[in-house]
Structure 1
Amino acid sequence: MRSLHSILLVDDDETTNFLNKFFVKQLDPDLEVEIAVNGQEALNYLENLSPDHAGGMIVLDINMPVVNGWEFLNAFESKFPEETHQKWVIVMLTAINSEEAISKALAHPRVTDTAQKPLSDLKFRALINKHF
């Protein structure tokens, strides 16, 4: 089983990012947590990582300005090699508990899991334990 070294939070809501980072740091103060406020910032972050970066978890909101979650996924798939794809667990965030949204997200080949907003320390713990 892989170990978790970093989390990339991708959401345009500053409060959500602040709380999510707080929850993650409560679980593991040594975990690297980065924030991107849209999909383009997340893509830029990933492009600038060294090739030996271990990867981790991307917590990706669906609805964002500039580049939304779906656009990010398509760009991630086309811009990065399979080796990079394998390094990241992508969790798609949904604001509503809709079977349609969850099914669409899980149908994407790069989405590993979904989670409903708001997240909490318990939800993060469950996601980390499930995938790492």
Structure 2
Amino acid sequence: MERLKSILLVDDDDTTNLVNSFFIRQLDSTLKVHMVRNGREAIEFLQSASRKEDMPCLMMLDLNMSIMSGWEFLDVYSEKFYDQLKEDVVIVMLTGMDLDDNTMAMSHPSVVDMIQKPLSDIKFRALVTKHFFSD
């Protein structure tokens, strides 16, 4: 995977993060997978990435989290990071069945795709192919 070097999983459910990292590592064991539990930790992670090479290429973001939700994260991300990272970071929402959330998330300029929970190896492969290997 040439363009996809690191992934940031943002979800307050540790089990979800572990399962997602399992599917990701099955696809490519050399990928760096970072996990944080809420939007605030994701912002801190991005702020600590001092070089462009330290930024994740893909962020998989849950919407409903404690401390800082996915929505709140997207507001801060849009203000502080979007212009600088829009060409380099793909943000994908991990979502449940709430159709209103799905519609709102897909209308956000930072969000490029949405995956229904739970993630699977087939869904992850399709996501990577679509956003990192298509022209």
- Structure 1 spans left out of the alignment, 5+ residues: none
Three-state SS of the structure 1 residue aligned to 2:86 is helix
Structure 1 position 11, deviation (Å): 0.3
User: How far does the alpha carbon of each residue in 1:5-53 deviate from its partner, in whole angstroms, 9 at most, with x for none?
Assistant: 1110000001000000011000000001000100000110011112322
Look up the match of 1:94.
95
Q: TM-score, normalised by structure 1?
A: 0.92
* 8 A Cα contact 2:82 2:110, kept in partner: no
Write the letter of the residue equivalent to 2:88.
K
Letter in 2 for 1:64: M
Please give the root-mean-square deviation of Cα atoms over the aligned residues, in Å.
Answer: 1.4
Where in structure 2 are the equivalents of 1:1-132 lying within 5 Å? Answer: 3-53=3-53, 55-80=56-81, 82-96=83-97, 98=99, 100-132=100-132
Percent identity reads 48
Please tell me the residue identity of whatever aligns with 2:28.
Answer: D
Structure 2: stretches of 5+ with no match in the other structure: none
Check the 8 A contact 1:10/1:58 in 2, yes or no: yes
Q: Write the letter of the residue equivalent to 1:30.
A: T
Name the amino acid aligned to 1:96.
Answer: M
Structure 1 segments of 4 or more deviating over 4 A?
none
| Length-normalised TM-score, structure 2 | 0.90
TM-superposed CA distance for 1:87, in Å, is 1.4
Report the CA distance between 1:103 and its aligned residue.
Answer: 1.6
2-structure distance, mates of 1:86, 1:48: 19
Change in Cα spacing, 1:81 to 1:20, as seen in structure 2 (3 Å) is closer
Q: Which amino acid aligns with 1:51?
A: R
